[in-house]
Amino acid sequence: MGGQTPEGYDATNELTYILLKSKREFPLNYPDLAARIHTRSPKRYLREVALTIKSGEGFPKLLNDEDVVPLLLSKGAKFDEALDYSVSGCAECRMPNRDTYTSPNAYINFAAALEMVMYNGRMLKYGDEVLGLETGEFEDFQSFDDLFAAFLRQQNNLLKHAFIQQHEIIRLRAEHFATPLGSMLQKLCRESCIDLHQPKIPGGIDLGYLEYMGFATVIDSLAAIKKLVFEEHVISLHELKEACEHDFEGYEVIRQLLRNAPAYGNDDPYADEIGKILDRTAQEFTAKYSEQIGVHMDIRLVPFTSHVPFGKVVSATPDGRRAFTPLSDGSSAAQGADHEGPTAILLSNYLTKNFDHNEHAGRLLNIKLSPGCVAGREGTEKLVEFIETWRDLKLWHVQFNVMNNETLREAQKHPELYRNLIVRIAGYSAFFTELSKDLQDELISRNEQEAF
């Protein structure tokens, strides 16, 4: 709902407000509800969106025309097509008669790449099997720049193999599968009498992507190494590796040092600059090889809930994260690492994003607010102002949970009393008591923001 018409006018109408009111009065986890926001979105619309968010079911999720539309234009869409995009999935956008990308894409565990730097191409869960590049013994790095360069090599190696995998998926899918009904419903396929699964559709636009998993986990780990090992010399690489190998059992002092190092999500240039380099390096790699091998892939930070199972293969990390626990979620701060309020989270997102590249395809941002933070008319206006700030920073997506952790803990203990409790998970909402305990714990572990 919301957004703009193909002619460029605001698309909000009375049906928009009926939908929002209906979502507040009949709290159901499905169907989902997404709101497109732009610079001319009416104040009434923004207030009604804020009121619906405050009801606490996680609706609606917000997508930002000020970021989405320029991306679609850069990919070759006409202006009217870009303005008329549809929200799809968790944080995706589609132009049903122009974009033709159907093959599934790779999720890449970059926290695993960090572990491969620590154990010379290996991971503790898999023993002596070499999984990545052998970049040398962790204790032998003489500078942070050398260690960072080793991580970027591991990162690019994973990206390279993801491109190879995707090339083969596209080639093989076209040889073995057909979708006659889907092709019949797609305008470009009808015009060319070609199946939608073919690698190239005349006039089609590829909106493929690679998923960057563990963004904040990697940033915070690298920031802690830079600060504590190479600048302040508080701990050595040997001590850090030993603490991580033992999952910090007997090394709680080191873990607390790591947990209090500069972290993404706090508007701290020290950590955010590392994130900007990670983002830029990945974008440059994808831009180069998309052109070379003809498989267009952008970088995204939209994990759905995959950051939970992906964490189950990664041992303890240098940000103080325990072994085999969830990685950071999308472009959100790592669980418990954001201490400067929700506006700082927005600014870290802004400061790590490279606007001089077009090789990005979305960032999913979860923010948890306490009910007291948005209470009353004043709370509504603050939430509206926060949404306007997010919009003006040209960030892709944001969604909210408005509830306190105590409620979630009580729902874990007494699920029979909280069967109607709805929470926002990834790009969808679900009944809290129906989630796995891993997902419940991950949601509880996110910081509850008390004030804007």
- Identify whether 169 is part of a domain: yes
**What are the catalytic residues?**
90, 92
Instruction: Tell me if the bond preceding 96 is cis, omega within 30° of 0.
Output: no
What is the 3-state secondary structure of the chain? Answer: CECECCCCCECCCHHHHHHHHHHHHCCCCCCCCEEEECCCCCHHHHHHHHHHHHCCCCCCEEEEHHHHHHHHHHCCCCHHHHHCCEEECCCEEECCCCECCCCCCCEEEHHHHHHHHHCCCCCHHHCCCCCCCCCCCHHHCCCHHHHHHHHHHHHHHHHHHHHHHHHHHHHHHHHHCCCHHHHHCCHHHHHHCCCCCCCCCCCCECCCEEEEECHHHHHHHHHHHHHHHHHCCCCCHHHHHHHHHCCCCCCHHHHHHHHCCCCCCCCCHHHHHHHHHHHHHHHHHHHHHHHHHCCCCEEEECCCCCHHHHHCCCCCCCCCCCCCCCCCCCCCCCCCCCCCCHHHHHHHHHHCCCCCCCCEEEECCEEEECHHHHCHHHHHHHHHHHHHHHHHCCCCEEEEEECCHHHHHHHHHCHHHCCCCEEECCCCEEEHHHCCHHHHHHHHHCCCECCC
Q: In total, how many domains does the chain have? A: 1
> Can you tell me the distance from the alpha carbon of 180 to that of 33, in angstroms, rounded to the nearest whole number?
30
- Identify whether 432 is part of a domain: no
**Pairing verdict, β 209-213 and 107-109:** parallel
Q: What is the per-residue pLDDT for 24?
A: 93
99 CB-contact burial (10 Å; exposed 0-12 / middle 13-18 / buried 19+): buried
| pLDDT one-digit tens code per residue, 24-59 | 999 888 889 999 999 999 999 999 999 999 999 999
Can you tell me which residue has the tokens 């549809």?
Answer: 86
Find the mean pLDDT for residues 194-202: 92
> Can you tell me the distance from the alpha carbon of 182 to that of 195, in angstroms, rounded to the nearest whole number?
8
Q: Bridge-partner residues for 368, per DSSP?
A: 401
- Identify whether 372 is part of a domain: no
| pLDDT one-digit tens code per residue, 164-192 | 999 898 889 889 999 999 999 999 999 99
Q: Which of 375, 364, 434, 433 is nearest to 398 (CA)?
A: 364
Q: What is the per-residue pLDDT for 358?
A: 65
> Can you tell me the distance from the alpha carbon of 308 to that of 224, in angstroms, rounded to the nearest whole number?
22
| pLDDT one-digit tens code per residue, 345-396 | 999 999 999 877 666 778 999 999 999 999 999 999 999 999 999 999 999 9
> Can you tell me the distance from the alpha carbon of 78 to that of 74, in angstroms, rounded to the nearest whole number?
10
Q: What is the per-residue pLDDT for 55?
A: 92
Can you tell me which residue has the tokens 């002619």?
Answer: 7
- Identify whether 230 is part of a domain: yes
Q: Which of 214-218, 301-305, 416-420, 424-428 has the lowest mean pLDDT?
A: 424-428
In the predicted model, what is the mean pLDDT of the chain?
94
Six token digits for residue 340: 């400067």
- Identify whether 244 is part of a domain: yes
Q: Which of 148-162, 295-309, 311-325 has the lowest mean pLDDT?
A: 295-309
Q: Is pLDDT larger for residue 297 or for residue 266? A: 266
Q: Bridge-partner residues for 422, per DSSP?
A: 431
- Identify whether 22 is part of a domain: no
Q: Residue 402: pLDDT above 90?
A: yes
Provide the domain limits for residue 223.
102-175+208-366
Q: Which of 229-238, 282-291, 431-440 has the lowest mean pLDDT?
A: 282-291
Q: Residue 1: pLDDT above 70?
A: yes
Q: How confident is the model at residue 289 (pLDDT cuts 50, 70, 90)?
A: confident
Q: What is the per-residue pLDDT for 201?
A: 92
> Can you tell me the distance from the alpha carbon of 156 to that of 46, in angstroms, rounded to the nearest whole number?
41
Contact 301, 217 (CB under 8 A): no
Q: pLDDT > 90: what percent of the chain?
A: 84
> Can you tell me the distance from the alpha carbon of 302 to that of 312, in angstroms, rounded to the nearest whole number?
18
Q: Residue 274: pLDDT above 90?
A: yes
- Identify whether 319 is part of a domain: yes
| pLDDT one-digit tens code per residue, 67-121 | 999 999 988 999 999 999 999 888 989 998 898 887 778 899 999 999 999 999 9
Instruction: Tell me if the bond preceding 415 is cis, omega within 30° of 0.
Output: no
- Identify whether 326 is part of a domain: yes
Q: What is the per-residue pLDDT for 102?
A: 77
Q: What is the per-residue pLDDT for 359?
A: 62
77-86 burial code (b ≥16 CB/10 A, e <16): beeebbbbbe
Q: What is the per-residue pLDDT for 89?
A: 85
Find the mean pLDDT for residues 410-434: 93
Can you tell me which residue has the tokens 């995707």?
Answer: 166
> Can you tell me the distance from the alpha carbon of 242 to that of 236, in angstroms, rounded to the nearest whole number?
10
What is the rounded end-to-end Cα distance, in angstroms, of the chain? 26
370-400 burial code (b ≥16 CB/10 A, e <16): beebbeeeebbebbbebbebbbebebbbbbb
Q: What is the per-residue pLDDT for 427?
A: 82
